[in-house]
Each structure stands twice: as structure tokens, then as C-alpha cells.
Amino acid sequence: MEQVMTSLQVFYEGHVQGVGFRFTVRHIAKGFDVTGWVRNLPDGRVEAVFEGDAEGVERLVRWVHTGPGHARVSGVVVADEPVEGLTRFTIV
């Protein structure tokens, strides 16, 4: 069965900077076989792009809703993104 590839852009709000959020997201993404990137934004949010098979991407988005470690996610905005064929997950 062919896997359906998808890509999502996700913005996380709340206490998401200075708590290891990006490093944890990168680690979990690799476990779900999801590529993409994650970065802090100047306004205190974290932006990420998750790319991979639809199931893995959806699992990652659900997992990060709870926030890793000491993070407290208070808002999540998700939008479809064109699939780029990313080959790894990076912290930008």
C-alpha cells in the first residue's frame, strides 16, 4: 500500500521557548519518521513544518499538543503546506 505524503505548518503558543521544546520535537519527529524543521519566533511562539506519511505527521501534531517536558502549549494553529521532499528534521 502506498503511503500518502503530507506536510503541515504548525504554530505553537504558550510557554514553549526555553524549555527544550525544539530539541524534544526533533527527537520525537525522528521516532515517527517525520522530516521538517522547527524554530523559535521572536513573538514567543514556535513554528514547525512536519512532513512525512499522513499517519506519522498526524501522530506528531497530536503528541506536541500536550507539549514536551516543562512546556505548556496553550494554542496550536495548523495549516496545510506543500510537500517539499525534505530529507531530515532540523532546528532552524
Which residues are known to be catalytic?
22, 40
Q: Are 81 and 24 in contact (CB under 8 A)?
A: no
How would you classify the pairing of strands 46-53 and 72-80? unpaired
Helices 21-31 and 54-66 sit at what angle, rounded to 10 degrees?
150
Ordered alpha helix ranges (H), 1-92: 21-31, 54-66
